[in-house]
Structure 1
Amino acid sequence: MASITKTTAQHIVDCLGGRENIDQMTHCATRLRFQLVDQSKVDQAALDADPKVLGVVPQGSTGMQVVMGGSVANYYQDILNLPEMAGFGDAEKKSGGKDYGGVRGKYSAVDYCFEVLSDTFRPILWALLGASLIITLLVLFDTFGIQDFRAEEQPPTFQFMHAMWRSVFYFLPIMVGATAARKLGANEWVGAAIPAALLTPEFLALGEQGDKVMVFGLPMIINGYAGQVFPPLIAAVGLFWVEKGLKKIIPESVQMVFVPFISLLVMIPATAFLLGPFGIGVGNGISTLLDTVNNFSPFILSILVPLLYPFLVPLGLHWPLNAIMIQNISTLGYDFIQGPMGTWNFACFGLVTGVMILSIKEKNKAMRQVSLGGMLAGLLGGISEPSLYGVLLRFKKTYFRLIPGCLVGGILAGMFKIKAYAFVFTSLLTIPAMDPIPGYAISIGAAFLTSMLLVLFFDYRSKEEKAEVLASLAAENGAAEAPVVEEAAPAPKPALVSGAVTTIGAPLAGRVVPLSEVPDPIFAGAKLGKGVAIEPTGDTVYAPADATVLTVQKSGHAVGLRLDNGVELLVHVGLDTVQMNAEGFEVHVERRQHVAKGDKLISFNTDLIRERGYNPITPVVVTNTAKFADVVATTGGTVAEQGDIITVSAQD
């Protein structure tokens, strides 16, 4: 094993461009995670061709995940032991390097900025989505002549309903301050308190927006910070450096008292005098630039936005535009990006609707479930990620069906000069938030139909992909139609001998879904083995049978088992939850420990996982699938701990 992993380790480093191209390296339960100097130097084809490499997933402009499966720790150690990597681990520790753990990393500045923006806004999406639907409800009342949405004086009932959505946007700086500080590695509650000070009645009583008042003997320009996103973002960066400096000079025993005290004493005035006005200037500058382009030619901007979004969203580069949309609403009273952006969304939803129709015709149950989920999440919630990761990024031809829909929708959106008067998620429910409503409905309808019809007429797969899927479905249907001979169930056996069949119970409670629905190409493609995924309703992972712990991550997000019957099982709690650095997880076992069925392995906080912006869906896969004649997953419905979810058949 050692010689194999050493050879593969050398091959991985060579394909990544050598030691000089590797800036940071870590690993989780199944993946080597690299941050690179130049991603273009990677020979991804050679990595994919290596039989020991289960998959390669680029991330951003500098990240690269190399999926190795359960033996990832061995490959990680052998990479560190290579002659050219001498001292790499020590240098990483001295530098305080960690996987997106703060500003200390040496990542591409632009790439890291987008990463911070992504992780700042993702946890707030729930509140933004809820508020956007309340706005839509009020706009519908306006559309039907019940109450003017923009009237300055509102009846008490509608005034209260406006407070329900305005709370999210008015106090958005506090939310952004908290999530940005947490992402950067500073205290999130101090990060929230800084912008909160600028929203208090005492601060607002100092003067009207634009007034100059003397504070501490210095002139301070009064600004309105409600709904702003750039000032709290910049303040969070300042807080990180202030806290870092204070922790170096203040004894650890009293840091809890004096670090937040001095941080607030420094950062609130710094934000009010300097960082806040600068942040408002940055947001207004970007908004003005885009507004200038829009004023010059709304038609050009309306075409560019939907054509860029299919490439921005997979990389997380769309978050700055979301911030500008909110900024536009705050400063201009309307936004000109959301309308054209909606046409990309509906082209995407049209594509997955076409995929769903084809899947129904082909009796492709797995793809039907994935596309149906993506379609409903999109049309009702305006969320494109399930469609993007479940369908678009998995098949070669999808973008050739998507882009024409974006183009047609963008052209029509440009002709109608669509504006949004509130920040909403572009779904069917939020159509009334756009103006003109008929023009927006026509543009998104055209985008939807164009991509859907292209899929129906020309498919969404290459010829090879389609042939492979149809052959697989034919084999499954043939097996399903074969006569079934009922036999007495075999007596339970302690190990899988030739021809034996055994079932594996669920290691945690929840709703069982096909592995193909996991929004991660490695798990969804069964690169790590066949199995199921569980959307957890419980908070504990239990041993599904007597087993030996092969590996357990210190972060607590994954555990690998070798059951006494020879089946090797990986339970991976959530996606990318390694980034949580063990927060919300508790490990109850250790490597090489033998556990009995029902023993507690890992405890986790599902709410905290969601709050941090991660998906808690838990893949449960048989990592040594190739050793067995068949591995069949049982999906649909909910399951309690130990309920049967996987059937494994030994080879004859």
Structure 2
Amino acid sequence: MANSPAAAIVEAVGGPGNIESLTHCATRLRFQLRDGGVVEKATVEAIPGVLGAVPQAGDRFQVVIGGAVQSVYNDIMALPAMAGGGGAPSGGAQSDADLKKAARESGVRGKVAWIDTLFEFLSDSFRPILGALLGASLFITFMALMATLGVIPAWNAPGVVLPPSWQFINLMWQCVFVFLPLMVAYNASQKVGADPWVGFAVMAVVMLPGFTALATQDGAQNIVFLGSEVTTIPIFGIPLTIFNYSSQVFPPLLMAAVLGPLTKLLKRVIPENIHLIFVPFLAMLIMIPLTAFLLGPIGVYVGAGLANILSAINAFSPFIFAIIIPLVYPFMVPLGLHWPINAIMLLNIQTLGYDFIQGPMGAWNFACFGATAGVLVIAWRQRDKAMKQTATGALAAGLLGGISEPSLYGIHLRFKRIYPRMLVGCLVGGLIIGFGSMFLGLEHGVTTQAFVFTSLLTIPAFEPIGLYAVAVLAAFATSMILILLTGYQTAEQKEELFARQAAEAGTAPVAAAAAPAPAPAPVAAAAVGGAATAAVATATRTVVEVYSPLDGVAVPLSEVPDPVFGTGVMGPGVAIQPSGNTVFSPGAGTIAAAQPTGHAFGVVLDDGVELLIHVGIDTVNLNGEGFDVKVKAGDRVEVGTPLVVFDRAVIEAAGYPLITPVIVLNAEQFGSVDPVSLGEVAAGAPLLSIQPKA
């Protein structure tokens, strides 16, 4: 049995032999499996530390970990069973690119596999540099805050010269964004199976000071192309367009997309023993002029075209734009469609001096984090340890880092009730930005002069800061309040959680009772603190009677209008149509679980029987209205101890059935569970007879 999260994850995905390769990004483990069909998503998500699981086409499987992904990855790779590449063939582990190629050739990735590949290419080109981007965005935010407080002049205004000390601080973020094309070129080249340093070198040529200086040489001329003035200079008679490639991301992406296939072609036609010399040389010989003359300019114009389309929408109506962006982002991010938009944000800052997308986008991010905060509060109320851990990590990553993936994959995509409520928060934030922009006469809406991650720490980077702050906090509060008022779980998910908690709480006393078995029963009971523990040891040798917790009519479970109870999935028992309004303890024992909503109780009897008493069907949705709970977890109860008093009128007015199942959760430890009789029954009268194992 797996004894660590790392080992449990490996076991859950089919063991080392089912793992072709394993990589990781900023928040997720990325498995390429031999057979993805053997993995149960729910099993993976139940592992401590796992925030979510994402099955993908082509036997790929992602496990969302969050900020600790590097540590978990290292733990997995350190497992003895993972030696040699995690079950790779004896010839050595295949590269990720080779695995994807084999999957494509075999047709297992489906008709839209190229879409999966495209989005994966885009995301993996950016994800490794998220940390650097986040760090740079916080430096930018600090500069913006200092300018807002009047400590320094407007640090990014034309003609402003900062003191040398502040110029140095400014360089701390410029180092990332000026050389961003080189970082993207490295990652994208590596993704397509090319030498990443060759990709880096190709892109570096067009970023050299000597390249941009060509625009000042004799023969350079300015021409108008596609409505823009550009500078060209003839190189061996061919016009070379001179651009400033700082912060550009489309040119390195296009360059890598061509470099990958070219590298594979060169490796096929060049003898293997001279690969090291001639593959990089010929790749650079071909790619440097191809990038400078063709791919680079195409990338610049593609980015500018997409930016112009979004700019035209925003210019036509900042109000409409402010609403559309936060409403579409929740669907773009899970698909990876937001990465090209991030590139356009960078391009806007370079060409316009500001970006108008990040402001409305902040409404979506904070609505996402607000929903997570609501889930966290509910998890604390429900004492759901796993969800508390997941939501705490996701909320910290969101509010401090502006990263939404842990919330999305760890929570929101797993519970279908969250998205509609989160979208309301997105809409509220967008409307505030839209109406605020109209009222204040903002031509471009809420803007920022830097690429930042929309978190609490980066609010000062937006203008006007007051409008942006109100909008994102309103989006956060709306989503959070809606989740708190309506919940994020379906009735079935709540029942599953309660059943799991009851089972976990109920097994602890049984396990404890097994230890002192050699002692006589009374002595053992005294040793562990009560007669309850001693009786467990004899539970399999005597007939146990469970008494009715209610006045009413006992009926078979099959009459319960709920498939989980009615089919006996939870366990055997009976149901009671109550005539009274008080639920009593059905025996002497301990309260293992008492839901604050009052709708369900777990009781561990002294005889070792673990019972679930569920007052009504779907009554959990009343959130405690109409229930007066008399006990709490850990309380000692006797036959007839009141557990809860319920208001029949409230429950019936809400339309919920009052029928109350009484279920034996650990029936497998006994012989048989049979009703004593059906029909009229009084509280305290025999209800169930539980036979010992033969």
- Range into which the TM-score falls when normalised by the shorter chain: 0.5 to 0.7
Alignment partner of 1:221: what SS? strand
Alignment match, 1:117: 122
Contact 2:185-2:256 at 8 Å conserved across structures:
yes
- Quick one: which of 422, 429, 434 aligns to 2:457? 429
Deviation (angstroms), 1:136: 0.8
Residue of structure 2 equivalent to 1:134: 139
DSSP-derived class of the 2:233 partner: strand
Residues 393 and 161 (structure 1), Cα distance of their counterparts in 2 relative to 1, 3 Å cut: same
Matches within 5 A, 1:470-489: 470-477=498-505, 487=515
8 Å contact kept, 1:56–1:65 = no
Deviation at 1:391, TM superposition (A): 1.0
Match of 2:166 among 158, 163, 167: 158
Query: Identity over aligned residues, as a percent?
Result: 50
CA distance in 1: counterparts of 2:34 and 2:138, whole angstroms: 39
Deviation at 1:218, TM superposition (A): 2.0
Shift of 1:452: 0.4
Please give the secondary structure, in 2, of the residue aligned with 1:205: helix
Distance 1:476 1:200 in 2: 64
Output the CA distance in 2 between the equivalents of 1:128 and 1:379.
Answer: 16
Which residue in the other structure is 1:192 paired with?
Answer: 200
| Cα distance, 1:56–1:189 mapped onto 2, change above 3 Å | closer
1:422 partner SS: coil
- Whether 1:340 and 2:353 are equivalent positions in the alignment is no
Note if 1:180 corresponds to 2:188: yes
* Equivalent residues of 2:104, 2:113 under 8 A apart: no
Structure-2 separation of matches of 1:167 and 1:188: 20
Residue 497 of structure 2 corresponds to 469
Alignment of 1:101-500 (within 5 A): 108-148=113-153, 149-151=155-157, 152-207=160-215, 210-415=230-435, 416=437, 417-477=445-505, 487=515
Contact 2:34 2:59 (C-alpha < 8 Å) held by counterparts: no
Q: Residue in 2 aligned with 1:542?
A: none
The answer (yes or no) to whether the contact 1:98–1:105 under 8 Å persists in 2 is: no
Displacement of 1:238 in angstroms is 1.8
Distance 1:96 1:411, change over 3 A: closer
Query: Whose relative contact order is higher, 1 or 2, with alpha carbons under 8 Å and at least 6 apart?
Result: 1
Q: Which amino acid aligns with 1:165?
A: W
1:479: how far off? Answer: 5.5
- Letter of the aligned partner of 1:199 in structure 2? M
Equivalents in 2 of 1:424, 1:445: separation in Å?
Answer: 17
- Distance in 1 between the 2:111 and 2:406 partners? 31
Please, which moves more after superposition, 240-249 or 254-263? Answer: 240-249
SS in 2 for 1:206: helix
3-state SS of 1:212 partner: strand
Q: 1:297 to 1:108 in 2, by over 3 A?
A: farther
CA displacement, residues 498-542 of structure 1 (integer Å, 9 cap, x when unaligned): x9xxxxxxxxxxxxxxxxxxxxxxxxxxxxxxxxxxxxxxxxxxx
Structure 1 Cα separation of the partners of residues 269 and 427 of structure 2: 57
CA contact (8 A) 1:124 1:175 kept: yes
Structure-1 separation of matches of 2:138 and 2:171? 13
The CA deviation string for residues 319-374 of structure 1, in whole angstroms up to 9 with x for no partner, is 11111111111111111111111111111111111111111122222211111111
**Equivalent position of 1:72 in the other structure:** none
* Cα 1:134/1:489, change in 2 over 3 Å: farther
Number of the residue aligned with 1:563: none
Partner in structure 1 of residue 634 of structure 2 = none
State the distance in 2 between where 1:100 and 1:115 align. Answer: 18
Instruction: Return the alpha-carbon distance in structure 2 between the equivalents of residues 106 and 186 of structure 1.
Output: 26
- Aligned mates of 1:117, 1:296 — CA distance in 2: 29
Deviation at 1:488, TM superposition (A): 6.4
Counterpart-to-counterpart distance in 2, 1:389 and 1:109: 22
* Letter in structure 1 aligned against 2:498: L
Runs ≥4 in structure 1, deviation > 3 angstroms? 55-59, 62-67, 92-96, 98-101, 104-111, 474-490
1:455–1:56 CA distance, 2 compared to 1 (3 A): closer
Aligned mates of 1:147, 1:319 — CA distance in 2: 33
Distance, in Å, in 2 between the alignment partners of 1:193 and 1:424 is: 27
Residue identity in the other structure for 2:304: N
1:289 Cα deviation from its structure 2 partner: 0.4
Q: TM-score, normalised by structure 2?
A: 0.57
Cα contact 1:139–1:433 (8 A) shared by 2? yes
> Any residues of structure 2 matched to 1:84-95 within 5 Å, and which?
none
Does structure 2 retain, via aligned residues, the 8 Å contact 1:57–1:64? Answer: no
Deviations 1:71-95 (A, max 9, x none): xxxxxxxxxxxxxxxxxxxxx9999
Change (3 A) 1:481 1:449: farther
SS at match of 2:453: coil
Following TM superposition, by how much is the alpha carbon of 1:487 offset from its aligned partner in structure 2, in angstroms?
A: 3.9
Provide the rounded CA distance (Å) in 2 between the counterparts of 1:33 and 1:451: 36
Using a 3 Å threshold, how does the CA distance of structure 1 residues 66 and 437 change in structure 2: closer, same or farther? Answer: closer
Change in Cα spacing, 1:27 to 1:351, as seen in structure 2 (3 Å) is: closer
Q: Per-residue deviation at 1:64? A: 6.6
- Cα deviation, residue 443, structure 1: 0.7
Q: Tell me how far apart the structure 2 counterparts of residues 108 and 487 of structure 1 sit (CA, whole Å).
A: 56
SS in 2 for 1:97: helix
User: Which AA in structure 2 matches 1:252?
Assistant: E
Q: Is the 8 A contact 1:32 1:65 kept in 2?
A: no
Partner amino acid for 1:174? L
**1:256 Cα shift?**
1.0
Given that residues 33 and 64 in structure 1 are in contact (C-alpha distance below 8 angstroms), is that contact kept between their aligned partners in structure 2?
Answer: no
Q: Give the 3 Å change call, closer, same or farther, for CA 205–321 of structure 1 in structure 2.
A: same
Per-residue CA deviation, residues 111-148 of structure 1 (Å, 9 max, x unaligned), is 43222111111111111111111111111111111112
Scaled by the length of structure 1, the TM-score of the pair is: 0.60
State the shift of 1:486 in Å: 8.9
Relative to structure 1, the CA distance from residue 377 to residue 96 in structure 2 (aligned partners, 3 Å threshold; closer, same or farther) is: closer
1:451, distance to aligned residue in structure 2 (A): 0.6
AA partner of residue 162 (structure 1): N
> 2:476 is aligned with what amino acid?
F
Matched to 2:156, the amino acid is R
Question: May I ask how many residue pairs the two structures share in their alignment?
Answer: 424
Q: Please, which runs of 5 or more residues in structure 2 have no aligned partner?
A: 1-30, 42-51, 63-96, 217-221, 223-229, 438-444, 519-536, 538-665, 670-692
Write the distance in 2 (CA, Å) between the matches of 1:343 and 1:158. Answer: 31
Q: Residue 237 and residue 105 in structure 1: after superposition, are their counterparts in 2 closer, same or farther (change >3 A)?
A: farther
Cα 1:66/1:257, change in 2 over 3 Å: closer
- For structure 1, the residue ranges without an aligned partner over 5 or more in a row are 1-25, 35-43, 45-54, 68-91, 491-498, 500-625, 630-650
Q: 1:177 is matched by which residue type in structure 2?
A: A
User: Distance between the aligned counterparts of 1:217 and 1:93, measured in 2?
Assistant: 41
Query: How far apart, in 2, do the equivalents of 1:56 and 1:167 lie?
Result: 35
Q: Report the Cα distance in structure 2 between the residues aligned to 1:489 and 1:147, rounded to whole angstroms.
A: 76
- Tell me the amino acid that sits aligned with residue 152 of structure 2: Q
1:604 maps to which residue? Answer: none
Secondary structure, aligned partner of 1:211: strand
Q: Answer yes or no: is the 8 Å Cα contact 1:409–1:443 preserved in 2.
A: yes
Tell me the distance in 2 between the aligned counterparts of 1:455 and 1:471: 22
Task: Judge which range, 296-305 or 148-157, deviates more.
Answer: 148-157
